[in-house]
A and B are shown apart, each in its own frame.
Chain A
Amino acid sequence: MLKTINQRVSIILLLLAIGYLYLSYQLPSFAYTNVDADVLPKALGWLLAVLSIALFFSKDSETEEQKARRDIPRKDLGMIAIVFLLILGYIFLFEFLGFILVTLLFIFFSSLILGYKNYITNGIVSVLFPVILYFAFTEFLQINLPQGILPF
């Protein structure tokens, strides 16, 4: 049934459209405008539904180039997942550990995992980058970055 990749994607888009439409129909009405807040969302929801159905039946298959782009080695995909998980951890610890510490850790470990073998340069950059930026931001630009558990 779901032969092409486009058909699978179109099902997901259709579900998105349905969810969005469901929420659009829940929007409360407001007496003081001629076109209420729900009009455009409803139109967009229906439009996406129609377009995703069109995508389901559309004949234009992918070019070879596009197919090749999706053909990512499992290892690289794993690497992308790891980096994104690192980012997630970064955000989670951002305000707790503070900008300097968490950025230092992120740069060092993410570069390491990505295969950067020059530990000394890596160490220097991951210390200098956050420290310089932190002081540039807080002292010169007066933009406060989270200080976290460090005393400065």
Chain B
Amino acid sequence: MKKFLLLLSFSFVLILAACGGDNGGDGGDEGGDDGEAAGEDGEETAWEPEQSIEFVAPAGAGGGWDTTARMTAQVFNEEGIIEEDIGVINREGGGGAVGWSYIAGQDGSNHHMFVGSPPLLLVPLNGQAEQTYEDFTPIANLIADYAAFAVRADAEWDTMDELFEDMREDPSSVTVVGTSSPGSMDHIQFVQIADAADVDITEIRYVSDQEGGALTQLLNGSVDVFSTGVAETIEQVRAGEIKVLGVTSEERLEGEVLEDFPTMIEQGIDSTFINWRGFFGPPNMDEEAVTYYQEKFRELSDSEAFGEIRDQYGWNEMYMEGEEYQNFLEEQNSEMEALLNELGLGEGE
């Protein structure tokens, strides 16, 4: 029996070690970077990177964050905008929270950054992350993507207004599907527009399908509306399987098929939703380093090579930096917070 007690206590120690171990590991990394950064301080020449730069995609390979990070790194290096090597690593988990706490652990480093987008606001607001966007150093925003709401081609609705007409009468008569969990992007982008159209958003039924089956559920009639990104709808629209009732951009988008999608505003719903994507550094990144990166990101955003990438993925240019970006984030954050509170999902409830 003693043996078993020993084993049991051993596994207990393991659990403890696992819970504390992560911090220990990150601490080690951090120390190294600090030392190097501090040594260069106080010099008069403009700041330049002294070692390879790490871009973190706080999600698995293949997603929006990952693609943005990889494409940006590629253009930076291939076009020679930044000479130092840029490595992209995936730190997946917790809807981004794992990657964020990794970057937060690189306090003061000038060689780490991550790709952020609306979930950086939403996940913390839902109480699912230790950090908020305010803990990080916003560097620059690069691109914008927009939401689209699609229904089956044979659905009874042809415009957002017809859909919302039904939903104003009985919000629970319509089922919405999306890939992210409730309170995250696919849910909130629909709720925001519905709210602007005077639908009782506390009654909306939202189904989350994280296994990639959301489109399947729309096609086979399990659900009524698919809340997603614009790019995901194009092929199905061309094939005549679904129709897009509206997109959340300010003005009509450019491109074949895309230009046919009506905006919310032209349908009389005064609301937009932007899936912005930009880069953030760790807390206390040096100001000179931020200035350096902003210059480089600006150059990247204006480059032809990155323009091609944007077209390929259907992204829109949306360059912001400094105060403009800061204000934008604050504004977005308070909008999201108000919505989540109305839904009763906010952290405070």
**A touches B in complex, CB < 8 A:** yes
Chain A residues close to B by CB (< 8 Å): 8, 12, 30-33, 74, 77, 81, 84, 88, 91-92, 94-96, 142, 144
Chain B residues close to A by CB (< 8 Å): 1, 3-4, 6-8, 10, 14, 17, 21, 24-26, 28-29, 87, 89, 182, 202, 204-206, 343-344
- In angstroms, Cα B25 to Cα A144, docked, is 16
- In angstroms, Cα B17 to Cα A77, docked, is 22
- Contact between A95 and B17 (Cβ–Cβ < 8 Å)? no
Known interface pairs A95-B25, A96-B28. Does A144 touch B87 (Cβ–Cβ under 8 Å)?
yes
Contacts of A88 in B (CB 8 A): 14, 17
* A contacts with B: majority SS: helix
How many whole Å from A102's CB to the nearest CB in chain B?
12
**From B208, which residue of chain A is reached at the shortest CB distance?**
A33
How many whole Å from A17's CB to the nearest CB in chain B?
17
Contacts of B24 in A (CB 8 A): 92
**From B13, which residue of chain A is reached at the shortest CB distance?**
A88
- Contact between A95 and B87 (Cβ–Cβ < 8 Å)? no
Q: Of B1, B3, B29, which is within 8 A of A95 by CB?
A: B29
- Contact between B202 and A91 (Cβ–Cβ < 8 Å)? no
* B contacts with A: majority SS: helix
Contacts of B1 in A (CB 8 A): 8
How many whole Å from A73's CB to the nearest CB in chain B?
11
A-B contacts, 6 of them at CB < 8 A, read: A81-B6, A88-B17, A91-B17, A92-B21, A96-B25, A142-B87
**From A77, which residue of chain B is reached at the shortest CB distance?**
B3
Known interface pairs A81-B10, A88-B17. Does A31 touch B202 (Cβ–Cβ under 8 Å)?
yes
What is the total of A-B residue contacts with beta carbons within 8 Å?
Answer: 35
- Contact between B10 and A84 (Cβ–Cβ < 8 Å)? yes
**Most chain B CB atoms below 10 A, which of A12, A88, A142:** A88
Known interface pairs A30-B182, A31-B202. Does A92 touch B6 (Cβ–Cβ under 8 Å)?
no
Q: Of A31, A92, A96, which is within 8 A of B17 by CB?
A: A92
- Contact between B10 and A32 (Cβ–Cβ < 8 Å)? no
**From B18, which residue of chain A is reached at the shortest CB distance?**
A91
Q: Of A32, A74, A77, which is within 8 A of B182 by CB?
A: A32
How many whole Å from A63's CB to the nearest CB in chain B?
20
Contacts of B87 in A (CB 8 A): 142, 144
**From B127, which residue of chain A is reached at the shortest CB distance?**
A28
How many whole Å from B335's CB to the nearest CB in chain A?
20
- In angstroms, Cα B24 to Cα A91, docked, is 11
Contacts of A91 in B (CB 8 A): 17, 21
Contacts of A31 in B (CB 8 A): 202, 344
- Contact between B344 and A94 (Cβ–Cβ < 8 Å)? no
**From A94, which residue of chain B is reached at the shortest CB distance?**
B25
**From A30, which residue of chain B is reached at the shortest CB distance?**
B182
- In angstroms, Cα B25 to Cα A95, docked, is 6
Contacts of A81 in B (CB 8 A): 6-7, 10
- In angstroms, Cα B205 to Cα A36, docked, is 14
- In angstroms, Cα B17 to Cα A91, docked, is 10
**From A80, which residue of chain B is reached at the shortest CB distance?**
B7
- In angstroms, Cα B349 to Cα A31, docked, is 12
**From B344, which residue of chain A is reached at the shortest CB distance?**
A31
**From A9, which residue of chain B is reached at the shortest CB distance?**
B4
